[in-house]
Amino acid sequence: MKLLMNKGSPFSRKVRILARERGLAGRITEVIVKVSPVEVDTDLARSNPLTQIPVLLLDDGMALYDSSVICDYLESLGVGGDTLPTSGPARWSALRSQALCDGMLSAAVLCRYETAVRPAALRWDAWTDGQRRKIAGGLSELALQFEGWQDTFGRTQIGAVCVLGYLDFRFPEWAWRDEHPRLARWFSQISSRASVMETVPA
Ligand SMILES: N[C@@H](CCC(=O)N[C@@H](CS)C(=O)NCC(=O)O)C(=O)O
């Protein structure tokens, strides 16, 4: 299998951490792809018309996207414990947390494009502020949920690592640790886990 990804992409990181957690890293070749919301990559578009990464190319030629679908697929192949509860309220809660983290990542990636891609004359502060509010609201929710995580490292926690790591990577001025010191302590502890260390954004 080939994973179209890059090391700065938080959605790719979600898949890369899960692959490592499920013992599948050795079966996946990571292929670095540069993406831009304003330039068309025709190769990538052939695999994913949304021209977004990550994309998982299966050995039979099928291309899978987006990150959550790829995680579900890898989950079906992997060895070791599930990263999502298989049934009941715990499953819906974990899927909701996955959606929360994905939404926070989408907002963060859009904020990043706002400064890295959009010409200064076309920027709209109120719009960026709106995206940042979504991230801030999500952080407060994660800080509440974190109290029940104990030693679990599943889909919710993988999502949280990707969000917090991306904030540190692209928005180092965002002092989220001041507001959520207990979540910050958890992030610092989990940062020494192999799958997390091996996928630090670059
Ligand atoms: N919902 C998608 C989002 C993926 C996404 O936004 N990827 C970014 C990189 S982190 C991308 O490819 N951006 C290029 C673009 O949007 O054109 C997922 O979960 O995989």
pLDDT in tens, 10-24: 999 999 999 999 999
Q: What is the pLDDT of residue 80?
A: 77
Tens-place pLDDT, residues 23-53: 999 999 999 999 999 998 999 999 999 999 9
Cis omega before residue 66 (within 30°)? yes
Task: Tell me the pLDDT band of 115, cut-offs 50, 70 and 90.
Answer: very high
Nearest CA to ligand 1 atom 11: 52
Average pLDDT over residues 143-172: 96
User: What does the alpha-carbon distance between residue 165 and residue 171 come to, in Å, rounded to a whole number?
Assistant: 10
State in Å: Cα 98 to ligand 1 middle.
15
Q: What is the pLDDT of residue 114?
A: 95
Tens-place pLDDT, residues 57-96: 999 999 999 999 999 999 999 777 889 999 999 999 999 9
Q: What is the pLDDT of residue 188?
A: 97
Reading across the β-sheet that carries 55-57, which strands appear in turn? Answer: 29-32, 2-5, 55-57, 63-64
State in Å: Cα 150 to ligand 1 middle.
30
State in Å: Cα 135 to ligand 1 middle.
16
Nearest CA to ligand 1 atom 19: 67
Atom number of ligand 1 nearest to Cα 8? 10
